Structures are given as C-alpha cells and as structure tokens.
Amino acid sequence: MPKQALRQNDFGGTFGGFLDIPHLYNGRNKTFFFFSYEGLRLTNPTPSQLYEVPSNYLRQAAPAALQPFLASFPVSNQPDNGNGLSYYNAGYSAPSSIDTSSIRIDHSFSDKFKIFGRYSDSPSDSTSRQPSDLAQVNATIRNVKTLTLGVTSIFSPEMDNEFRFNVTGNDYKSARTLDNFGGATPLALENIPGLQSNSWLTFFLFYDLYPYYLLEPQSNRERQINVVDSFTHTLGRHNLKYGVDYRRLVASEALPPLWEVGFYFDEASVLSNQTSGINMYKQSINMKAVYPNTSLFVQDEWKVNDRLSLSCGLRWELNPRRTMRMATLRTPSTTSQT
C-alpha cells in the first residue's frame, strides 16, 4: 500500500502598539492594542488496516432494492469469508484546519482606573472516514468565540478590585456524506421513498457495518456567561481576597423530524430481504438545558515571617439542578421489510 500523506503547515503573526487614528484619536500612553493570528493546516494519515465490506457475491445476489446500499461500501478483491463479507485493506489521510485570531485593547484612564476588552475567534474544521464504511465522509465544523471585558480599580495601596465579564459561544455542526472511496457507488438518497431532505437514515449490516447518512447537518450550540468580581485588601502581613464567581451555561440541540433505521444482521436476511425491523421515527425535538452556578470565596495569603507563608481559604458553591426545556412529538412505526 502507498504511504499516506502527512503534512503540517503552521503560520501566523502578531502586531501591536498604541492606538493612533490620525486626526481623530491619539492614544499614546493611554490606549494600546494587540492583534494575533495563527493558522494550522494538517493532513494526518490513518495507517492501512483490514476492514470488512460486503463481498462481491453478496452485492450481486442481493435483491435489487438492497444492492444500492451494498454498493455504497468500498469494493474488495478478496474472496468471500463465508458469511457474505470480504476483507478490504486501505488507509487514508484526514485533513483538518484551524484559524485563531484575537484582538485586545487596553485603556488607562489613570493609574487607578484601567479597562480592557479582548475578542477571539477560532473556527476549525476536520474530515474523517467512518471505520464501518470508509466511503462515508464525516465532516465537522466548530467555531468558538469569546468576548472578555475587564475593569481594574485601585482605591488605595492596600485595596483594589478586579471585575471580569465573559461571553463564550461554541457552535458545532457535523454532516455525513458518501463518496466513491475504494470503488464505492454513493447511494442516491433522493431515490429512497419518504426520505426528506432533513432526515436521518441508517442501514445496519451484520451488527457493525453501517453507512450512516445525516442529510441535514447536526448542530449543537453552547453559550456561557461568566461574571467574576474580586476585592483584595492588604492588612499587615495578610493579603485578603473576597469574591464572587457566577456562570450560566445554555446548551441547545435540534433533532431532525424523521429517522429511518434498517437492520440486517446476517447474510440470509440480506438475500431474503427480511429485516429485523425498519424503524421510522417521526419526531420533532428541540432541547435546551440551562446550567447555573454561583460561587463565593474568601482567601488569605498570610506571610507569617520571611521564611513561612500560609495560604488558606473558604469557597461556597451553589449548583442548582439544571433546567431542561424539551418540545417532543414522536411517533414510531415498525415494518418487517423494505
């Protein structure tokens, strides 16, 4: 087998300084910015190994209704193992990429009052192949965005306060499609009766072989709000800190309205086109979970003497039961054959 490709390209740069907008604003010694970007392009090889695929005999002898499903697997030139399957040896390289950019702006109103803002965006994507069917391409897209605002207030040489506000968004999408890897013939999904453009379809063969088609990309979304405030007070050899940490995470997911699953657990069931059940679920599910968390803390950094320091503290956390909102309409039905 030919050696699979391995490539990695990492590039980027940074740029910063004081903010100066000619004829509009001069931020010298007051306002500063810093921008950074890093890109990564990776092609990661998967070593060649043995997989099982439908044998050529099974592809030809199966009923016409099932032949398009069997043809969606790579083609083997090895003999039948005696159970309708043949070995197939292959490897591939999986590409992925990530682009990370961020910008931070700091502004000083005075030596005692400063603010900053930071924004980052990290879109990424990756592609892999399903081990149960190498002709199935699994593509994922993830985008993480964060916004942080901060305020530092110095009241005196012994007292100061720091406030932070953060919003983080995490969007995830995944899609599964079929291609002609290893001589496979992609299944024409539009020819399957009753299947909608936003449905799921799964064809289980011999327990562990299945092309898993997700016609509409699956999406998950997370949003987190984080507020932290801490007050520091120095008393002699004691450095006391009091604070509050509040977080609220909202996770949501929507599932497609139709999910069709067919089960063929041996060669005889394929040749006779007798399934262990074709389940069709008509459903409408929109889930939204909320996870709140509140923490209060106090800590003391006590310098007993020049050679001994003690650190102690107390933290109280409130983690109430998550709240879940779900709208569901589900009507399952089962038939015995295609």
Q: Which residues contact 110 (CB under 8 A, 6 or more apart)?
A: none
SS3 of 272, please? helix
pLDDT single digits (tens) 244-267: 999 999 998 876 666 667 778 888
Q: Where are the domains of the chain?
A: 7-335
- The DSSP code sequence of 140-204 is EEEEEEEEEEEEEEEEETTEEEEEEEEEEEEEEEEEEEE--GGG-----GGGSTT--TT-EEEEE
Q: Half-sphere exposure (CA, 13 Å, Cβ side) for 14?
A: 5
pTM: 0.78
The per-residue b/e assignment along 72-111, b for 16 or more CB within 10 angstroms, e otherwise, is: bbbbbeeeeeeebbbebebebebeeebbbebbbbbebeee
pLDDT in tens, the chain (338 residues): 567 888 999 999 999 999 888 888 888 889 999 999 999 999 999 888 899 899 999 999 999 888 888 898 999 989 998 889 999 999 999 999 999 999 999 999 999 999 999 999 999 999 999 888 899 899 999 999 999 999 999 999 999 999 999 999 999 988 888 899 999 998 877 777 666 666 666 777 775 666 655 556 678 899 999 999 999 999 999 999 999 999 999 998 876 666 667 778 888 888 888 876 555 555 556 678 899 999 999 999 999 998 899 999 999 999 888 776 655 444 444 444 44
